[in-house]
């Protein structure tokens, strides 16, 4: 049989330099040997690991794990963060319920890792929606608003009508039946009556943080 010739990782790795966002490793579905290798290789580098489940991370040797700042709800890890940007960028993270925690905290951790500030407002779901008004001034003191919600995602529309800030909406896969793994929330956000609400893929907290970072970098120029 002929030998397979793999050209391996074909291209160089300058994405960070090109678009100003550092590399991230999406761990879900990656075989453990490859993950372990990456954890070892980047134990002193500012590389973010996402979707790293606790039961997977625990398979790494203790000494390696200790090199990493790991947070289990957000399922993120990094050995070193990006340089702190001081108070140049502030992101408000608002989520609808406690089931949205993994997603909103993945966004929060990514914001932190990228060197920006954030405030986390959880459990702002339907019972409390109309009372957001009382908090809105505080939320508007941030530069970007990330809203995380599943089910009917009404929170995105309500916030979109209350804040003039750039708003990034992340649907979550919570719920059953017609929630359809987050597709219902996604649709609601895309057809939101509030103008200028932008949307990410279902459960993509990391992507929302990157979208916010693109804006914050612009502010810093």
- Residue list 36-65, contact with its own copies (CB under 8 A): none
Q: For its own copies, which residue of 37, 58, 59, 218 counts as binding (CB under 8 A)?
A: 218
Q: Dihedral of the CA atoms 58, 64, 67, 72 (nearest 10)?
A: -10
Q: For its own copies, which residue of 42, 60, 162, 205 counts as binding (CB under 8 A)?
A: 162
Tell me how far apart the alpha carbons of residues 181 and 184 are, in angstroms, rounded to a whole number.
8
Q: For its own copies, which residue of 55, 91, 109, 148 counts as binding (CB under 8 A)?
A: 109
| Least distance from its own copies to the Cβ atom of residue 60, Å | 19
DSSP-H helix ranges across 152-204? 154-160, 183-190
Tell me how far apart the alpha carbons of residues 24 and 5 are, in angstroms, rounded to a whole number.
27
**Is 33 near its own copies (CB under 8 A)?**
no
Q: For its own copies, which residue of 4, 44, 55, 137 counts as binding (CB under 8 A)?
A: 4
| Least distance from its own copies to the Cβ atom of residue 211, Å | 4
The span of 39-47, 57-65, 98-106 binding its own copies (CB under 8 A) equals 98-106
**Is 120 near its own copies (CB under 8 A)?**
yes
Interacting positions 67-96 with its own copies (CB under 8 A): 69, 81, 84, 96
- 76, β-bridge pairs: 71
Name the region of 74 (left: φ>0; alpha: ψ -120 to 50; beta: rest). alpha
The span of 39-47, 60-68, 163-171 binding its own copies (CB under 8 A) equals 163-171
DSSP H or E run through 123: none
**Is 123 near its own copies (CB under 8 A)?**
yes
Residue 151, classified by CB atoms within 10 Å of its CB into exposed (0-12), middle (13-18) or buried (19+), is: buried
Q: For its own copies, which residue of 77, 106, 199, 205 counts as binding (CB under 8 A)?
A: 199
| Least distance from its own copies to the Cβ atom of residue 61, Å | 23
Tell me how far apart the alpha carbons of residues 203 and 221 are, in angstroms, rounded to a whole number.
30
């Amino acid at each position: 049989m002929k030998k397979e010739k793999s050209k391996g990782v074909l291209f160089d790795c300058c994405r960070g330099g090109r678009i100003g966002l550092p590399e991230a490793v999406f761990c879900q579905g990656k075989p453990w040997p490859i993950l372990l290798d990456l954890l070892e290789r980047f134990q002193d580098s500012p590389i973010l690991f996402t979707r790293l489940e606790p039961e997977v991370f625990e398979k790494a040797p203790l000494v390696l794990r200790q090199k990493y700042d790991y947070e289990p709800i957000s399922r993120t890890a990094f050995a070193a963060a990006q340089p702190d940007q001081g108070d140049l960028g502030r992101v408000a993270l608002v989520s609808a319920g406690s089931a949205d925690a993994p997603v909103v905290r993945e966004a929060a951790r990514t914001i932190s890792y990228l060197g920006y500030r954030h405030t986390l407002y959880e459990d702002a779901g339907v019972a409390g929606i109309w009372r957001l008004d009382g908090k809105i001034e505080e939320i508007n003191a941030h530069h970007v608003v990330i809203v995380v919600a599943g089910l009917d995602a009404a929170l995105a529309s309500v916030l979109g009508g209350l804040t003039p800030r750039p708003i990034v909406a992340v649907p979550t896969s919570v719920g059953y039946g017609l929630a359809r793994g987050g597709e219902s929330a996604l649709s609601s956000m895309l057809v939101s009556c509030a103008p200028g609400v932008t949307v990410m893929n279902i459960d993509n907290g990391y992507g929302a943080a990157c979208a916010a970072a693109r804006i914050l970098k612009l502010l810093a120029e």
